[in-house]
Amino acid sequence: MTKTVELLSPAGDAERLKMAVAYGADAVYLAGKEFGMRAGAANFSDDDLEHAVQYCHEHGVKAYITCNILPHDSDLVRLPAFLGLLSDIGADAVIIADLGVLASVKKHAPRLKFHISTQFGAVNSETANYLYSLGADTIVLARELNLSEIRQIRRNTPDDLGLECFVHGAMCVSFSGRCLLSNYLTGRDSNRGNCAQPCRWKYRLLEESRPGEYFPVVEDDGTYIFNSKDLCMIEHIPELLDAGVTSLKIEGRMKSFYYTAVTAQAYRKAIDAAVSGVPLDPLWVKEVDMVSHRPYTTGFYFDEPEQYYADSSYTTAANVVAVVESCSSEGDAVLSQRNKFFRGDELEIVIPGGVPVSFRADKLFDENGSSIESTPRAMMIIKTALPCAVPPMSIIRKRTVQ
């Protein structure tokens, strides 16, 4: 079993990056304003990238920068300067999916380590070994592999080649994310970071001689024919480590800071339990239900993937209402509001490194110390008493399902 394993969390902006670091990630992946596969995320300017890398290193966390689009020649013009920037600011690696980008890294930023993105579609040891011979530090294996295949790749590749796999988050219907639906239906290039997610749309059949009559594409399970469940492997970390995986990756640069925090903490606990050889506390399995998600699946890791589901809805068992900005040793806290809540509400505190703590919001005050009944204004400052001292970036949530 792999004893040294990395937890890799998404960071779509600075707040999410700080949450990932606070809640237990060993590394984060983030993007600049160009070249990343999540163009819709806030992402980071050049200056922000430098600050982000510095913040990570100050906290003992690695920072990987995504450069994983499939670039056209027009994209390549600006690529050398970007790669040089990443090398200069001390990025721990760049994540790439294209051999042309690999060549550019070796030419323009030879000191910069590079990881091969899942978009490359590596499914065998020959590919992995060839990429290793070109200088790849880590291979993010294709999501279509099962555990037996991953184990075989591990046996047939050098020990110092990192093998990274996704363990949680949204799944793409196309092979390793290489999709043309968005290009065809909307003109937005999914392989250059602008996917419109038409796989999540509801489709009907229109027969040529019956205009205006729409027919279901399938009989019993709805018509979301390309729609995948979300991946969740939190109960199977020991199997992944036994297969030789060295980095466990959470999807979600478009997701909220709350999603980033909760998934990082849950998988941190799952990894620590697996490495220590102790059972995982069921609390952390339940925690991944507390974020917005589609129904969960284990993807292709086991013999019979069950990914399709006939809906486009998300579920969650809780909503964020505030974030702790500061807290005294007596529990007197200053919060910033994220959703409206009321005096007397039953709430929970999600604490970095700790278990959730329940409490009742019996007293609420505005920033001037005046008593209030609710928190109606976005990002308003709130003062309240918590049942214990907690660090900044603790999250206050209200359950939607008891």
Q: pLDDT at position 192, please?
A: 57
pLDDT, position 294: 87
How far does the chain reach from its first CA to its final CA, in angstroms?
37
Overall average pLDDT of the 369-393 stretch: 96
Look up tokens 């399709």; give the residue. 308
pLDDT for res 65: 97
Quick check: 224 pLDDT over 80? no
Q: Which residue has the tokens 């999603």?
A: 259
The confidence band for 189, taking pLDDT boundaries of 50, 70 and 90, is: low
pLDDT digits (tens, 9 = 90+) for 233-262: 999 999 999 999 999 999 998 899 999 999
Q: What is the average pLDDT score of the chain? A: 90
Q: Model pTM greater than 0.85? A: yes
Position 198 scores a pLDDT of: 63
Percentage of the chain beyond pLDDT 70 is: 84
Asked if pLDDT for residue 298 goes beyond 80, the answer is yes
Which DSSP string do the residues of 331-360 spell out, in sequence order?
Answer: -EEEEEESS--BTT-EEEEE-TTS--EEEE
Structural domains present in the chain? 6-174+228-297 (3.20.20.70), 318-399 (2.40.30.10)
Cα separation, 278 vs 189, whole angstroms: 45
Based on the number of CB atoms within 10 Å of its own CB, is 60 exposed (0-12), middle (13-18) or buried (19 or more)? Answer: exposed
Mean pLDDT of the region 11-32: 96
Which run of H or of E encompasses 106? helix 99-108
Residue 241 one-letter amino acid:
L
How many other CB atoms sit within 10 Å of the CB of residue 167?
A: 27
pLDDT in tens, 331-375: 999 999 999 999 999 999 999 999 999 999 999 999 999 999 999
Residue with tokens 């510095």: 54
pLDDT for 322: 98
Q: Is the dihedral of CA 194, 199, 201, 207 positive or negative?
A: positive
Give the pLDDT band of residue 61 (cuts 50, 70, 90): very high
Q: Are 117 and 96 in contact (CB under 8 A)?
A: yes
> In which band, very low, low, confident or very high, does the pLDDT at 281 lie, cut at 50, 70 and 90?
very high
Looking at residue 30, what is its pLDDT?
95
DSSP secondary structure letters along 83-120: HHHHHHHT-SEEEE--HHHHHHHHHH-TTS-EEE-GGG
Under 8 Å between Cβ of 163 and 150: yes
